[in-house]
Amino acid sequence: MPQHSVTMADVAKAAGVSRTAVSFVLNQRTDVNIPDATRERINVVARELGYRPNAAARTLASKKSAWFGLVTEIATSPFASGVIKGAQQAAWQDGRFLLIAPSDDEPGMESLAVEKLLEQQIGGLVIAASWHREITVPENAMSVPCVLVNCFDADQRFPSIVPDEVGGGYTATDILLKSGHTNIGHITLTPGIPAQTGREIGMKKALAEAGITQPASNIVAGDGTADSGFQGTRELLELPDPPTAIFCGNDRIAMGAYDAIKESGLRVGTDISIVGFDDQEILAPHLRPRLTTIALPFEEMGTAGVSLLNQMAEGAPIDNRQITIGCPPRIRSSVAVPGRR
Amino acid sequence: MPQHSVTMADVAKAAGVSRTAVSFVLNQRTDVNIPDATRERINVVARELGYRPNAAARTLASKKSAWFGLVTEIATSPFASGVIKGAQQAAWQDGRFLLIAPSDDEPGMESLAVEKLLEQQIGGLVIAASWHREITVPENAMSVPCVLVNCFDADQRFPSIVPDEVGGGYTATDILLKSGHTNIGHITLTPGIPAQTGREIGMKKALAEAGITQPASNIVAGDGTADSGFQGTRELLELPDPPTAIFCGNDRIAMGAYDAIKESGLRVGTDISIVGFDDQEILAPHLRPRLTTIALPFEEMGTAGVSLLNQMAEGAPIDNRQITIGCPPRIRSSVAVPGRR
DNA sequence: GCGCGTTACTAAATCGAATTAGCAACCAGG
DNA sequence: CCTGGTTGCTAATTCGATTTAGTAACGCGC
């Protein structure tokens, strides 16, 4: 095990060439004339000596670093891990590294995190949120190409990647319509957030296209918790003409809906169909019956963010438009043709 | 907005001093004589010029980097985010940065990830697993202080931080015993994994201390899924003398148990008490009734890992012992005094 | 046998900091 | 008024790469 600090100079000496030659060979530069025999010799010597490039030296000399920064709340969100994974993969494929910095905890943390990342000579920055919302981007983020993921800034100074909430809401509703439901309830997320407004708009769009008009009471406000799903479902079931299907603003709401339905002596799927939203990995596939839901494309958003960053880093024209990524359905067992009551 | 490449030399020139002086002042070195007036002047100039240290240059010159590496499967695990968060916080407090590399995807990825991290001149390495198990540590990890989190290597060449599964199993059982249960069922995780064996040992220890002997049939094998919880619960309920409480190997099993109990016309908590394990954030607090469970100390393990790494990096004697972190109970509403059937 | 174009490299500068060695100015003590 | 110590710095080297500008050696055509 070599005591690591084998440098290019060491390799050069051992191979009997200059360190310039070593640099050329190890970086696989083809625009320079070095015969294969020499290349081979240098490569062999490098391997034998256990040469390992020093990223700091490389960054310093080339004035460009191999990494991007990712600022996110790691805190409470299993969500974030999807974005991180997607971003990580995209970065890796381009031979880049992802420096992850936390934006939670204390206020002002975000700006500090960005500052620290900039010190590391990052070539680009992704700012990700754990839930779709508007954010204020710290000023210093301007010094480097920057992409927002699962969030956006008020005046669209940065390109952003967000889930297609409207499309998702449409899809969810469409699944129910296609199954024959014509009386569909909806329990919303916390009113006002983009996910809530988007999903509801999508639902209404689907209903409108199907030529269905429903009473306003078919939509009840929730807050994203299972409890609100439980309460909301009770309200819907007590309606004079109760819906045969419920589109729940998220999976946790759906979880509460399951309980309310079961307590009413009805069966989920058979008597009342349910569609969720988010496709939470440790939840949706484990409910009984397994929950049909709409997935949030976290990984895809992370990937798209880094890809966009790559383009920007390579000098592609910056287009501040918002890019939406589709929310695909996950068909499982909680939807059936309308039951009778 | 200054076109960033303000260097120490620029600051030095503007302040009318040498760059050595600037370096001393900005690094707050007190072992060198520079009057406060000069220090102040340099600091002001640095701020005005928007000086930002270049981490690559610093790393290169000082031969020590400001970061640690963290290798983990980001893939499927919301779990990992707890470890990342804890590690991140501990690192941040010591002014260090965390470079996160993925170990999933292709085989051999782990070793490659470590190699890449080493190129970045990391001062230490944390290898974390998403579930408690034995791993093989890539050879190249030897070149730097290394700590294992939520995993361990066969021959204990590295210090490791793992959850106290036995203690957790003991606690879970103790909660039920303290509530008056004397006939307790258990649905295990996949047989053989450390979490399964540890938790079962803890349970048996608690029963033994309470002087309780139970038939072997009170323990049924599961596999960590909600389905296995459903099946396991049915088996237990069909026993001639069915248990009044069930300790489930994890929260998903508990979720399945809830469904089985409800389908039998019994009430969770009231008729049959349930204790889970893992404290999955989007699951346990949302079940009805809210699930009493045992938490896995992911954040604490991450923190402990980085702290240990810090000590090692500062030259503290390396102690390859395994450090266990306690699993605290989360008391909610799924446990009551024994019901009658 | 001279000029020219390749081929196969090398020398040296550079990146932005950290660090070691040392120097000039000043003051105090004898 | 010379010596020695302190104060307040600076010069120069170093870290390990990248990169630009060149150059020695060789073959080839005329």
Q: Which string of b and e fits A305-322 if b means at least 16 CB within 10 Å?
A: bbbbbbbbbeeeeeeeee
Instruction: Please indicate if any CB of chain B lies within 8 Å of the CB of A272.
Output: no
Mutate to test the interface with B, among A85, A105, A299, A306 (most CBs of B within 10 A): A85
For tokens 């190129």, the residue is B119
A63: left (phi over 0), alpha (psi -120 to 50) or beta: left
Reduced to 3 states (helix: H, G, I; strand: E, B; else coil), residue B36 is helix
Q: Which of A84, A140, A116, A82 is nearest to A306 (CA)?
A: A84
Profile chain B (341 residues) by mean pLDDT over runs of 10 residues.
76 94 93 91 95 94 90 71 87 84 78 90 93 93 94 94 98 98 98 98 98 97 97 98 97 97 95 96 91 96 95 82 96 89 49
Tens digits of residue pLDDT in A45-54: 999 999 999 9
**Integer Cα distance of A27 and A305 in angstroms:** 28
Two tokens, residue B47? 């701020």
Closest Cα in chain B, distance from residue A125 (Å) = 15
Q: C-alpha angle B190/B196/B200, rounded to 5°? A: 130
C-alpha distance from residue B22 to each of A322, B6, B25, B62, B328 (Å)? 44, 13, 5, 16, 50
Closest Cα in chain A, distance from residue B139 (Å) = 10
- Residue ranges and CATH numbers for the domains of chain A are 8-53 (1.10.260), 67-163+298-325 (3.40.50.2300), 165-296 (3.40.50.2300)
pLDDT reported for residue A2: 46
**Integer Cα distance of B335 and B176 in angstroms:** 7
Closest Cα in chain A, distance from residue B131 (Å) = 14
Q: Which of A75, A290, A80 is nearest to B252 (CA)?
A: A290
Instruction: Please indicate if any CB of chain A lies within 8 Å of the CB of B280.
Output: yes
If one compares A144 and A103, the residue with the highest pLDDT of the two is A144
Chain B residues 45 to 84 with C-beta below 7 Å from nucleic strand C: 51-54, 57-58, 60-62
C-alpha distance from residue A317 to each of A153, A159, A162, B257 (Å)? 19, 11, 20, 56
CA B334 from centroid of its chain's CA atoms: 26
* Peptide linkage before A289 cis (omega within 30 of 0): yes
Longest dimension (CA), chain B: 91
For strand A67-72 and strand A97-102, is the pairing parallel, antiparallel, or unpaired?
parallel
Q: Residue A323 CB: number of other CB atoms within 10 A?
A: 16
pLDDT reported for residue B75: 58
Per-residue flag: A24 CB under 7 A of strand C: yes
Q: Could you give the count of Cα atoms lying within 13 Å of A278 in the half-sphere of its Cβ? A: 25
What DSSP string runs through A292-331?
BEEB--HHHHHHHHHHHHHHHHTTPPP---EEEE---EE-
Tens digits of residue pLDDT in B194-215: 999 999 999 999 999 999 999 9
Q: Tell me how many residue pairs between chain A and chain B have CB atoms under 8 A apart.
A: 127
Tens digits of residue pLDDT in B139-177: 999 999 999 999 999 999 999 999 999 999 999 999 999
Tens digits of residue pLDDT in A153-206: 999 999 999 999 999 999 999 999 999 999 999 999 999 999 999 999 999 999
Tens digits of residue pLDDT in B269-307: 999 999 999 999 889 999 999 999 999 999 999 999 999
User: Which amino acid, one-letter code, is at B61?
Assistant: A
> Could A286 and B252 be called an inter-chain contact, meaning their C-beta atoms sit closer than 8 Å?
yes
Question: Residue A221 in contact with residue A188, Cβ under 8 Å?
Answer: yes
- A119, with CB counted inside 10 A (0-12, 13-18, 19+), is middle
Partner-chain residue, chosen from B56, B78, B89, that has the shortest CB–CB distance to A60: B56
